[in-house]
Amino acid sequence: MKTNQKSKSKLTIMKGILLLLTPMFFIACSNDTKKADVNAADIQVSQEMIAELTAPPLVPTPVGNRKAKKLIVNMEILEEEGEMTNGVKYVYWTFGGSVPGSFIRTRVGDEVEFTLSNHPDNKLPHNIDLHAVTGPGGGATSSFVAPGHEKTFSFKTINPGLYVYHCATAPVGMHIANGMYGLILVEPEGGLPKVDKEYYIMQGDFYTKGENGEPGLQPFDMQKAVDEDADYVVFNGSVNALTGDNAITANVGETVRLFVGNGGPNLTSSFHVIGEIFDNVYVEGGDLLNENVQTTLIPAGGSAIVEFRVDVPGTFILVDHAIFRAFNKGALGMLKVEGEENKTIYSGVKQEGIYHPEGGGIQAMPNGDEPEAVASTTEKSLEEKIESGKQIYMQTCFACHQAEGQGIPNAFPPLANSDYLNADVKRAIGAVVHGLTGEITVNGEKYNSVMTRQSLSDEEVADVLTYVYNSWGNNKTNVTKTQVMEVKSSH
């Protein structure tokens, strides 16, 4: 009897659990069926609108809750001369007159009527392959267009995500390498979550006959492209497209969304913002969401959406973390954030001093009989200062300004035969002891990087600058400790 009662009791409990789970099961099945029934290709459109197209780093207005529409996209191909960096010219092939091309913003279910026009002054035929298109060549087979002509085709946006588009006319790599790429966003129904700021950034690698920094109009070098030996790796088509006055901006407390693409044609991007952590990353521009990411990989012909909140003010540097590309080839941008400091999150410098791993010199325990040490007041000879300064230079300055003071093109100015240094010794001292930001011109070339203040004693500053001034064709100034102290006190 007890066994039968236990069995009945268990049976009753199981029936109760099944009764509880049954509605949940049907709800889940109903939701799955509902999802399966929603086919973006079947979404009907009833109105049409002209697409808002924007040049980088701007993006069009979010789609929000708007219904699917017939979206009219008119895009013109232009072959135009532009500036890669100071004094370096390049003929870009562009969609819409910019590199990357105009940003296209759609939503799932839109019917896009796309007209591609090839300007009569252009020299070559082109077409467009949009990775958001389901169809032969992503539209390339329907859009091949000669100069002075235009082609129209249409497609349905059926998959949400951030997609690359590019020219697919042979030789495909050459057309992409000359700047023919951009991004098309397909937002989900209801749109993406709201943020305060959105920007459009796209990396590309360029191959020129001349070496990096060589002035003049530089033609494309096919062999370098085949060898994947890029002279420039840049954001938005040129070395300084996102620095200085071109930097993107935000305010403390705002959320920032970056639509980041990689046109290639060859190199994968390791996208990173120095001093920030990505709260959200839509991996490869799709549905997969990753959180708390430091650096995200973006393949050639791929994309990512990154989102983060800015909590403290300052200049945050955008880079391809294949780091020589950033500091030597141009893959560097700036996000300038204004607002109140938050010392809890970031304190800034709390204490500054000189670090001697082995101590300041030979040390011994005091025995009480020896007099207290007194700093030497003997002035070094010029030769001693130069020798001391050389050692300091190789430890402190070498990485940026190089062994012979030649600097790094487009990143750090030369110290050799420098008109900037030779014109004003006090200004040079100030750069070392206070740091230097903003645009400067050295030997006719413009630079806009950051030099942090150096943790050196007054004597070390005097020695290293004396070495620099007495090397590489400079004016042989003997910088004194007194001069350094005067500059410090006047700041």
Residues with catalytic roles: 126, 129, 131, 166-167, 175, 180, 272, 291, 295, 321
356 is in an annotated binding site: no
> Tokens 């959406």 sit at which residue?
305
> Tokens 């305060």 sit at which residue?
196
CA distances from 7 to 1, 12, 18, 459, 463 (A): 10, 9, 16, 92, 93
166 is in an annotated binding site: yes
180 is in an annotated binding site: yes
Distance CA(194)–CA(178), nearest Å, equals 34
175 is in an annotated binding site: yes
Report the candidate in 95, 109, 97 with the shortest Cα–Cα distance to residue 65.
109
How many residues are recorded in the chain?
Answer: 491
Backbone angles phi, psi at 188, to 5 degrees: -70, 170
401 is in an annotated binding site: no
Distance CA(161)–CA(192), nearest Å, equals 10
Q: Where is the binding site, in residues?
A: 126, 131, 166-167, 175, 180, 321
Residues in binding site for Cu cation: 126, 131, 166-167, 175, 180, 321
